[in-house]
Structure 1
Amino acid sequence: MDERAPFVVIGGGVMGLSTAWALSRRGERPIVLERFARGHAQGASHGATRNFNNAYADEHYLDLLARAREGWDALGSVGGEPLLRLHGLVSHGSGAALGSAAKEGAAPGVAAIHAQLHDRGIPAELLDGTEAARRWPGMRFEETVLYSPDAGVARAAAALGELERRIVEAGGEVRWQSPALSIDQDADGVTIRTESGTIRAGTAVVTVGAWSSSTLGGLGIPLPALTVTEENPAHFTPRDPREPWPSFNHFVAPGAWPANVYGMPTPGEGVKVGFHAIGDEVDPDARPFRLDKHAGLLAEYVRDWMPGLDPASAVHLSCTYTSTRDEAFVLDRTGRVVFGAGFSGQGFKFAPGVGAVLADLALDPAARAAPAFRLR
């Protein structure tokens, strides 16, 4: 079967589905090709929850978060519950926060993040550790704590289903178990070979996560080096199910723990806790699905900093990170191919904003992402 389509999105994780939805909101009928089955656990988009974390000081991330929030609000509720559970986020610690500045030696502290949120009208307050522990007795805190009530959790699996529903409702298609076997572009379009035939697209959007380098490398696109790691957060059981739990960031001091810590409550599964970006480097086509050397340290961290959780109750998960050196996203276009990559375990909450940016790039060859996200 040979087809023609104005837009084909290759990769049906949250970034690809968000891009296809953004295109459909503008009257297009994109085709999404995903190599795996619906609900697969091979990439980075599966699971019930993701941290909806707004503790950023970089302007480009806060701008993208604003676009993302518009998208989340437009997606609304699924099953009678909003896709964003805004139960609040607490951030504390003296280490480096997330974002590109953190990798360049200019990481903002929680006071600087608070100032940026305040300037944008995003609710946030600074608490001392004693007050924070009174509000959330399951946790210990360092001296100054940033509380962001307009943050919390994104319902990940429910969001994927709703994005697909919206795409199909608008006349687009999501084709599961439909790998793109080859991609070739010329001045007039992109030819995508699949197991069922060839699709000739005006523009292709590639959002394939851990497979970005191998997929885009053959097109001569100068992506930055991308490292794929297997990460092992875990759910822990609360000792008292009545205690409130926020989402959280702990920006740990260098040398205290292997990496920053993040987490959030997941109803029915416990409280997710994970070290950020410390997993073993893996080949996504030969992923071992095994615990790394830091799994035991995660229980020790919980024992020290989260007295409201049972450290012996860990149920570990496996997910992949695909990261650039500075953890900055890549959102750009070369010829007829638009691409998004390097979301480094912090991308899910930004997905509707990322999809909007990639749709901009696909619809308008003159459009540009923020400078921090362009090829360098």
Structure 2
Amino acid sequence: MRIIIIGGGVMGLSTAWQLVRRGERPLVLERFARGHHEGASHGETRNFNNAYGEAHYLDLLARAREGWDALGIVDGEPLLRLHGLVSHGSGAALGAGSGAGLTDIAAGLTARGIPAELLDGAEAAGRWPGMRFEDTVLFSSDAGVARAAASLRELERRTVEAGGEVRWDTRVRAVSPDADGVDVVTDAGVFRADIAIVTAGAWTEGLLSGSIHLPRLRVTEETPAHFTARISGPWPSFNHFVAPGAQPANVYGMPTPGEGIKVGFHGVGDEIDPDARPHRPGWQRELAAYVREWFPGLDADSAVPVSCTYTTTPTEAFVLDRVGPLVVGAGFSGQGFKFAPGVGATLADLALDPAARAAAPFRLPT
């Protein structure tokens, strides 16, 4: 067998789709059932946030956008709902990368032809009366949400239609590389491949320990919540880059039709063993207090918590690299979903060309 992908979340399925587009027939092995809630890819929506000041993220986002556009219309609408993104907060230079403030981010987006508009807080509150803002607000109309669950279904459909295979409920126990390829040990037997691509989320470190020297991958359980809107909107997606100590962490969120407005603190959850995840809501009192202060258009007492995992590197940079016959995509740090088609294309490059390299910040230390 030429290529096995371990992990059937959005990164594994995106990689499989990018490979079948190039004529490959990968096998995807996923330990859980289709539609499971044990990892980081489930749910109806994920933020499509373009407020980055770092060139390597903007480059990857551009590559991802090509993939999203190629996936086209699914069930009557695109997989990206581009209702816009507002970013604000005095902590922007700390929260958006490379010390970039909102003005710098706006200039970087504009230089790439991405719509970016700077507003004052009062003007922004007039446009989006359900929200409060700090003084300067960055609005990009070319952002919004990715339809997460629909994306997974479509990526699987296209992979299988083009000759790839996805096997659910197939747990990988070990990955053993050698000079000629990789043995992938599962409960269903041992599979032999030329290349194994590991996109196993919270289980990556356990699978690759002893094979690849990874940065520490910290796994946490995060529990944002959906809140009921008191007004009909409009509701954009949003980032609030808070000053240190003003809130438990930066805040993100987006509208999810049928569920409400999702609001969450970024990366505050307890560290967990992914095989013993408690599915226990945390920080809900603080989240309700935040909503009460910053979202006059939401019912702060209506929270319905949801649970997902973050797998975070010490720098929050992704890992996209290859060592021998092993390719790894890991550490997406709560911000990876929107990049998935670009990540998949990058991992496909690494699998098919031993000389390929991801951007330097995504590489393993040498």
Is TM > 0.5 for Structure 1 vs Structure 2?
yes
The amino acid across from 1:78 in the alignment is: V
> Cα–Cα, structure 1 residues 41 and 97, in superposed 2: closer, same or farther, change >3 Å?
farther
* Counterpart residue number, 2:159: 167
Distance 1:97 1:44 in 2: 27
The amino acid across from 1:375 in the alignment is: L
* Counterpart residue number, 1:55: 51
Distance 1:98 1:262 in 2: 15
1:259-301 residue CA offsets vs partner (Å, 9 max, x unmatched): 0000000000000000000101100000011122x21000000
Q: 1:211 aligns with which of 184, 192, 203?
A: 203
Deviation at 1:97, TM superposition (A): 5.5
Distance 2:24 2:48 in 1: 29
Residue 231 of structure 1 pairs with residue 222 of structure 2 = yes
- Percent of residue pairs bearing the same amino acid type: 73
Three-state SS of the structure 2 residue aligned to 1:178 is coil
* Counterpart residue number, 1:148: 140
Residue 267 of structure 1 pairs with residue 263 of structure 2 = no
* Counterpart residue number, 1:75: 71
Distance 1:96 1:202 in 2: 44
Distance 2:52 2:364 in 1: 22
Distance 2:186 2:271 in 1: 29
The amino acid across from 1:328 in the alignment is: A
Give the conservation status (yes or no) of the 8 Å contact 1:249–1:262. Answer: yes
Three-state SS of the structure 1 residue aligned to 2:184 is strand
Deviation at 1:96, TM superposition (A): 3.9
* Counterpart residue number, 1:124: 116
Alignment of 1:284-295 (within 5 A): 284-292=274-282, 294-295=283-284
> Cα–Cα, structure 1 residues 296 and 358, in superposed 2: closer, same or farther, change >3 Å?
same
1:179-227 residue CA offsets vs partner (Å, 9 max, x unmatched): 11221111111111222222110100000000111111131x1100111
> Cα–Cα, structure 1 residues 172 and 270, in superposed 2: closer, same or farther, change >3 Å?
same
The amino acid across from 1:356 in the alignment is: A
Give the conservation status (yes or no) of the 8 Å contact 1:8–1:30. Answer: yes
1:308-340 residue CA offsets vs partner (Å, 9 max, x unmatched): 000000000111000011100000001000001
Give the conservation status (yes or no) of the 8 Å contact 1:56–1:98. Answer: no
Q: 1:303 aligns with which of 272, 279, 292?
A: 292
* Counterpart residue number, 1:332: 321
The amino acid across from 1:82 in the alignment is: P
* Counterpart residue number, 1:22: 18
Three-state SS of the structure 1 residue aligned to 2:303 is strand
* Counterpart residue number, 2:33: 37
* Counterpart residue number, 1:349: 338
Alignment of 1:65-144 (within 5 A): 65-96=61-92, 102=97, 106-144=98-136
* Counterpart residue number, 2:233: 243
Distance 1:6 1:96 in 2: 44
Give the conservation status (yes or no) of the 8 Å contact 2:173–2:207. Answer: no
Distance 1:343 1:280 in 2: 17
The amino acid across from 1:354 in the alignment is: V
Deviation at 1:368, TM superposition (A): 0.3
The amino acid across from 2:156 in the alignment is: E
Distance 1:375 1:107 in 2: 23
Distance 2:205 2:248 in 1: 27
Structure 2 unaligned segments of length 5 or more: list them.
none
- The CA RMSD over aligned residues, in Å, is 1.0
Three-state SS of the structure 2 residue aligned to 1:35 is coil
Give the conservation status (yes or no) of the 8 Å contact 1:231–1:320. Answer: yes
The amino acid across from 1:169 in the alignment is: E
Three-state SS of the structure 1 residue aligned to 2:215 is coil
* Counterpart residue number, 2:171: 179
Residue 320 of structure 1 pairs with residue 316 of structure 2 = no
Distance 1:77 1:172 in 2: 21
1:46-94 residue CA offsets vs partner (Å, 9 max, x unmatched): 0000000000010000000000000000111211011000000000001
The amino acid across from 2:17 in the alignment is: W
Three-state SS of the structure 2 residue aligned to 1:303 is helix
1:152-171 residue CA offsets vs partner (Å, 9 max, x unmatched): 00000000000000000000
Distance 2:125 2:188 in 1: 58
Residue 279 of structure 1 pairs with residue 269 of structure 2 = yes
Distance 1:85 1:315 in 2: 23
> Cα–Cα, structure 1 residues 96 and 125, in superposed 2: closer, same or farther, change >3 Å?
closer
Three-state SS of the structure 1 residue aligned to 2:146 is strand
TM-score, length-scaled by structure 1: 0.96
Give the conservation status (yes or no) of the 8 Å contact 2:92–2:102. Answer: no
